[in-house]
């Protein structure tokens, strides 16, 4: 049987160096290293980006939805490697392919990020990501992430 882990915000902060306003994961609902993760972001009207994107119709920037996918992928990778981030290494977002945005994410939405791990070679890993709100796909993308020492 695969390990499945639920993580609260305190545990997430142990695996991600991101902090407000760039922490895009509020909870991990399922984590099955090395294959998949299901994470959650509660989208609040109080998010800083809503003041300017767009004031007349507040929409979460698509790049931040994809950033949430990458952060979920990072948690999955750190859990798989059984390591935590430190000041000697960094997990970079190295590429995005086939990104598609299907509908806007607005205040009050709850995004579920489902990430599946693909191939990994020399510290570069590929992931498939889907973001859903109320079961409907809002975005999807193929992600490349790289684990590298800080120089």
pLDDT per residue over 55-92, tens digit each? 899 999 999 999 999 999 999 999 999 999 888 888 89
- C-alpha–C-alpha distance, residues 41 and 106, integer Å: 12
9-149 CATH pick, 3.40.50.740, 3.10.129.10, 3.90.1010.10, 3.30.1510.10? 3.10.129.10
Structure-token pair, residue 61: 């920037």
pLDDT surpasses 90 at 150? no
Which pLDDT band, with edges at 50, 70 and 90, does 1 fall under? Answer: very low
Beta carbons within 8 Å of 93's beta carbon, 6+ residues apart: 67, 70, 143, 144, 145
Q: Which of the residue ranges 4-8, 137-141, 142-146 would you say has the lowest mean pLDDT?
A: 4-8
Whether 53 is catalytic is yes
From 53, 80, 96, 130, the catalytic residue:
53
Residue 5: the pLDDT is 85
Nearest to 24 by CA among 59, 54, 64: 64
Give me the residue spans of the domains in the chain: 9-149
User: 90-141, pLDDT tens digit by residue?
Assistant: 889 999 999 999 999 999 999 999 999 999 998 899 999 999 999 999 999 9
Task: Say what the pTM is.
Answer: 0.94
- Residue 48 CB neighbour total at 10 angstroms: 10
């Amino acid at each position: 049987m695969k390990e499945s882990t639920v993580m609260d915000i305190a545990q997430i902060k142990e695996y991600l160096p991101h902090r407000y306003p760039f922490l895009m994961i509020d909870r991990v609902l399922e984590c099955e290293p090395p294959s998949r993760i299901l994470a959650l972001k509660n989208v609040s009207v109080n998010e800083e980006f809503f003041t300017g994107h767009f004031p007349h119709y507040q929409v979460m920037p698509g790049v931040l939805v994809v950033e949430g996918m990458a952060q979920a992928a990072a948690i999955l990778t750190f859990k798989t490697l059984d390591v935590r981030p430190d000041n000697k290494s960094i997990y970079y977002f190295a590429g995005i392919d086939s990104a598609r945005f299907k509908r806007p994410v607005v205040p009050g939405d709850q995004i579920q990020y489902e990430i599946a791990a693909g191939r990994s070679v020399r510290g570069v890993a590929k992931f498939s990501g889907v973001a859903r709100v109320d079961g409907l796909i809002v975005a999807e993308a193929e992600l490349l992430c790289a684990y590298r020492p800080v120089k």
